[in-house]
Amino acid sequence: MSVLPLDAADEVATEPVPPAHRRGVPGFLRRPGGVFGAAWLVFIVVASLTAPLWRPYEVTEQDTANRLALPSADHWFGTDPLGRDLLSRIFTAGSLPLLSSALMLLVAFGIGLPLALLAAERGRKVERITSRSTEVLMALPATILLLAVIGVIGNKLYPVMAILGVLISAAVYRVMLGVAQSVRQRLYVDAARVNGLGSLRVNLLHVLPSMATVVAVQAAQLFGIGLLIVAGLAFLGFGPGEPDPSWGFMIQDASGHLFDAPWLLVPSGLVLALTVVAANELADAIAGKAKAERPVARRRKRTPVAPADTAPADPGAVLEVRDLSVAVDDGPQLVTGVSFALRRGRVLGLVGESGCGKTMTARSLMGLLPDGVSVSGGSIRWQGRELVGLSEKELTAVRGREIAMISQEPMVALDPMFSIAYQLVGPIRRFRGVGRGEARTIAAELLRNVGIVDAERVLKSYPHQLSGGMAQRVCIALALTGQPELLIADEPTTALDVTVQAEILSLLRALVRDTGLSVVIVSHDLGVVADICDDVAVMYAGAVVESGTAAAVLDDPSHPYTMALLGANPHVPEGEPVPLRLASIPGTVPPPGSWPTGCRFASRCQFAQEKCTAPFPALPAHGSGSVLCIRVDELASAQATWDAEPVGAGTPADAAVAPAPTAGVSR
């Protein structure tokens, strides 16, 4: 395979700031609040758990000569009304609120988090069930329930806090569900699924790490709340009984001496307050360091439909799509009657204006449609096998190994949490069954194959350290890890600058030439299509209006929409005169659900007649391809061309530059 030289613009960015987790210091520790919160919590936990080893006095030991004493060398925090050492009692008492709050968190997240992940993954049906169940939990009066439990089991704070954890899990679930749903819509989660990862591993490796910040913030806040609840229960007399120490009871004891010994309230109150504030400061610091949310792409899911009964029309085709329809569940059709075929080693371009259904068509090939959108009819035959109706598990076996995908936003398609090596080695090991060392060698080779000269350095890089072009090369390498035979490229060059675009296109061409890969490329750019495609399917308002070889469609367009698109294309072939004015297409693409009867392009078409708005008859094939226009033969015989719309019609300047009238067909 040829190695393409890198443009300077495509080099690894020179001034990357490695993410905090790489430098060994978590980002929240760069904030004073984070440092204080973490330091105090570590201190209080360690000091409380080890108190029996270092405390100067036993918790019941009384210094009767020194009751209600102020701090001194003997008693650093002073003494209580019975002359007991406050320092020893406060730190000994710490383990109960700290551990029972931790238990509450464990239970709350242990239930809420997996439920949220499950609901986010399984879609609306499961989500409805889990959400309704958690709503029941949320409706229970927590305080009354806790007091009732204490009435039954006594002042046992560990089980009480565990039950509180169950109640709080409903709130945890609700927060985590929103986050999990949003994370699952990110392109790198799709990329992981495309790379054949099962749902458990997608959750563990990609969804959970991206939720870590929110989990940490929530946990820190709930921990502080848990401490206050334990202290409050002990204050009310539902904690450990005398002589065992507890923060809540010590505060209650001190409140009886507010006037004769006000100091008594300070040590226990301060330690409790500092611990709660530390938990909240830590939460704020973690939340503050969280990066701005990345753009959200759409989630994909397929509702199985019965596959159409089809026999291959083109025996040489590796991919044959026939009469494909995609629709919003209980909503409008987004794509209807789409048919095309693709042979091995050829590139098919899906082209059209924004909103014509190109992406929906391409994504349906991999079963990666957005949530709530599904294939509603037709057939997708891949190497003779029907893909429509396959289960998620069966599709997982196809994705990555047979059909892979690259998207238009390479930066979003790579997981920012992991190095390039990590992101390549995992799929390589899974797809090719090799060890870590060999997988790394293959990863470097793949990077070199996609034109990355300095593969070792890129392997060690993180996505934010790569330029857009470099990231797209990595995405292409990632797509090749499973040695697929079909690559779906959704606007692969849209996010790149022109020079890098050309490099990525020539890379794709080289891959097709050298490996026999077939490619479906989605683009609104006719220049890209002309550059790389062998075959073209022009889409308008959810339907293919013209298809055929790129040469036939682009050099001699038959459908008025194709003519209009070409007339509006700013690319001018070499040697041809630059037109005085680009043709424009009046109006906009009608949205799904508002498609007119008959020809969907009629209202914008220069050649439309009344008959164009009548329901379509079945149209015969036109040459080697197809044209969805009932006037196609008339237009061809009249050698019709799409006229440029006069700009500011009627002005002298326009009149001066107006092109000579072109041959047209009377309306």
Ligand X SMILES: Nc1ncnc2c1ncn2[C@@H]1O[C@H](COP(=O)(O)OP(=O)(O)OP(=O)(O)O)[C@@H](O)[C@H]1O
From the list 365, 382, 361, the residue with the least C-alpha distance to 318 is 382
Q: CB 314 → ligand X: shortest distance, Å?
A: 24
Is 352 among the residues that bind ligand X (CB under 6 A)? yes
Judged by CB, which is closer to ligand X: 298, or 346?
A: 298
Residue 367 binds to ligand X (criterion: CB under 6 A): no
Whichever of 149 and 328 has its CB closer to ligand X, that residue is: 328
Distance CA 572, CA 569 (A): 8
Options 353-361, 449-457, 627-635, 650-658: segment touching ligand X (CB under 6 A): 353-361
Name the residue nearer to ligand X (CB basis): 334 or 403: 334
Interaction between residue 75 and ligand X (CB under 6 A): no
CB of 589 to ligand X, least distance (A): 8
Three-point CA angle 622, 624, 627, nearest 5°: 35
For position 334 contacting ligand X by CB under 6 A, the verdict is yes
Closest separation in Å from C-beta 475 to ligand X:
18
Please, which residues have CB within 8 angstroms of residue 357's CB and are 6 or more apart in sequence?
326, 334, 335, 338, 539, 541, 542, 543
Please calculate the CA angle 378-382-383 and round it to the nearest 5 degrees: 135
Closer residue to ligand X, CB minimum distance, 398 or 539:
539
Pairwise CA distance, residues 183 & 454, whole Å: 31
Angle at 245 between CA 241 and CA 246, to 5 degrees: 85
Minimum distance, C-beta of residue 193 to ligand X, in the bound complex (Å) = 17
Rounded to a whole number of angstroms, the minimum distance from the CB of residue 594 to ligand X is: 10
Q: How many CB atoms lie within 10 A of CB 266?
A: 15
354 versus 637: smaller Cβ distance to ligand X: 354
Q: Which stretch binds ligand X (CB under 6 A): 113-121, 193-201, 370-378, 455-463?
A: 370-378
Residue 354 CB, nearest approach to ligand X (Å): 3
354 binds ligand X (CB under 6 A): yes
> x/- site string to ligand X, residues 510 to 539, per CB under 6 A?
--------------x---------------
Per-residue CA distances from 136 to 117, 169, 307 (Å): 19, 12, 40
Whichever of 165 and 410 has its CB closer to ligand X, that residue is 410
Determine the residue type at 490: D
Under the criterion CB under 6 A, does residue 349 sit at the interface with ligand X?
no
CA-based nearest residue to 343, from 554, 486, 483 = 486
In Å, how far are 80, 162, 247, 264 from 77, measured between CA atoms?
10, 32, 14, 9
Sign of torsion, CA 636 638 644 646?
negative
**How big is the CA angle at 390 (ends 210 and 313), to the nearest 5 degrees?**
125
Residues that bind ligand X (rule: CB under 6 A) add up to a total of 17
| Span of 5-13, 19-27, 197-205, 356-364 interacting with ligand X by CB under 6 A | 356-364
Q: Which two tokens stand for residue 179?
A: 């986050």
What are the angstrom distances between the C-alpha of 281 and each of 29, 43, 278, 286, 508?
A: 11, 15, 5, 9, 50
Find where tokens 């990590």 sit. Answer: 422
Question: Which one of 114-122, 262-270, 357-365, 562-570 is the stretch in contact with ligand X (CB under 6 A)?
Answer: 357-365
Candidates 279, 356, 414, 450; binder of ligand X (CB under 6 A) is 356
357 contributes a contact to ligand X by CB under 6 A: yes
114, 123, 307, 370: which one binds ligand X (CB under 6 A): 370
Q: Does 358 bind ligand X (CB under 6 A)?
A: yes
CA-only gyration radius of the chain, Å: 34
Residue among 419, 516, 514, 399 at smallest CA distance from 459: 419
Q: Smaller CB distance to ligand X: residue 209 or 372? A: 372
Instruction: Provide the minimum distance between the beta carbon of 544 and ligand X in the complex, in angstroms, as a whole number.
Output: 12
In the complex, the smallest distance separating the C-beta of residue 333 from ligand X, rounded to whole angstroms, is: 9
Taking residues 290 to 329 in sequence order and writing x for each that binds ligand X by CB under 6 A, - otherwise, the string is --------x-----------------------------x-
The residue from 27, 37, 592, 625 that contacts ligand X (CB under 6 A) is 592
Q: 455 and 448 in contact (C-beta within 8 Å)?
A: yes
Which residues lie near ligand X (CB under 6 A)? Answer: 298, 328, 334, 352, 354-360, 370, 372-373, 524, 591-592
